[in-house]
Amino acid sequence: MPNIDTVIKDLIIANRILAKEEVVDAYGHVSMRHPDNPKHFFIARSLAPDLVERDDIVELGPDGQPVRDETRPLYLERFIHAAIYEARPDVQAVVHAHAEDILPFGIAKATPLRPVIHSGSFIGARVPVWDIADKFGDTDLLVRNMDHGRDLAQCLGSNNVALMRGHGFASAARSLIEVVRMSVYLPRNARALLHAKQLGGEIKYLRQGEIDARNRGYSPYSTETWRAWEYWATKAGCSHMLTKPDHAHGHKK
């Protein structure tokens, strides 16, 4: 089991990578379930992900509230994370972001966002679209409480990603590396699909068998996955925080 210090370092790296890869900007956030206390999770206080340091990481409980005295403002939309951890015991890490390239697919019903490129396969065969207005009418579109969060988590179901109409996306995965990778490739997959639509004609999505074959070959700490994590971390200027796994083949740290 990784120690807390390693977990928090990885979470800081995840924040920096998502910023460098332009998945998040001033807004958007990433969290990780507490490895020893699965009802709790770690997330930064209200701060742009690129600026997150060790002291900015806070521990929140199942209701999305801090478990220790905390006077600093927290992310308004932390309930996205709390509700997904509540609904999905298999999920270890969650990202919420507003990446521009995915937005059209939450707005236009004509073309569903599905995997079209090999690296996009991890978003899963089905990407549901959650519309906050369906249940809550006119809001400011933000996930401001557990009721909003639970409705989103219900729409996500057992999928990896849900689009949020006119707002962004939420992604969930079995590991931090996996959720970061998925969130980096999600906008790229969306961009490839948008460009393909401009060329016209039939769109060829990845076949279910291809998505399954990609997933079968995935391991969170494999050499291939580590390669991307190490590259992104270095590009984001935080290679010094990397904790190398003991083995490069599918073993957890």
Which residues in this chain contact Zn ion in the complex, by CB under 5 A? Answer: 77, 168
Shortest Cβ 158–Zn ion spacing (Å) = 22
Shortest Cβ 142–Zn ion spacing (Å) = 6
Alpha helices in 129-175 (DSSP H): 132-136, 146-156
Q: How far is CA 99 from the centre of its chain?
A: 11
Nearest to 38 by CA among 88, 78, 74: 88
Shortest Cβ 191–Zn ion spacing (Å) = 20
The residues, ordered by sequence, that sit 6+ positions from 123 with a Cβ below 8 Å of its Cβ are 113, 114, 115, 160, 161, 171, 182, 185, 186, 189
Q: Tokens at residue 196, please?
A: 């393909």
* Distance of alpha carbon 124 from alpha carbon 135, whole angstroms: 25
Shortest Cβ 98–Zn ion spacing (Å) = 6
- Of 120 and 168, CB closest to Zn ion: 168
- Of 115 and 168, CB closest to Zn ion: 168
- Of 168 and 245, CB closest to Zn ion: 168
Shortest Cβ 130–Zn ion spacing (Å) = 12
Q: Facing residues of 32 across strands? A: 42, 93
Q: Which residue in 21, 53, 70, 77 is the catalytic one?
A: 77
Three-class SS of residue 186? helix
Three-class SS of residue 92? coil
- Of 8 and 44, CB closest to Zn ion: 44
Is 59 catalytic? The answer is no
Q: What is the DSSP secondary structure assignment for residue 45, as one 8-state letter?
A: -
- Of 77 and 178, CB closest to Zn ion: 77
Q: What are phi and psi of 104, to 5 degrees?
A: -55, -30
The residues annotated with a catalytic role in the active site are: 77
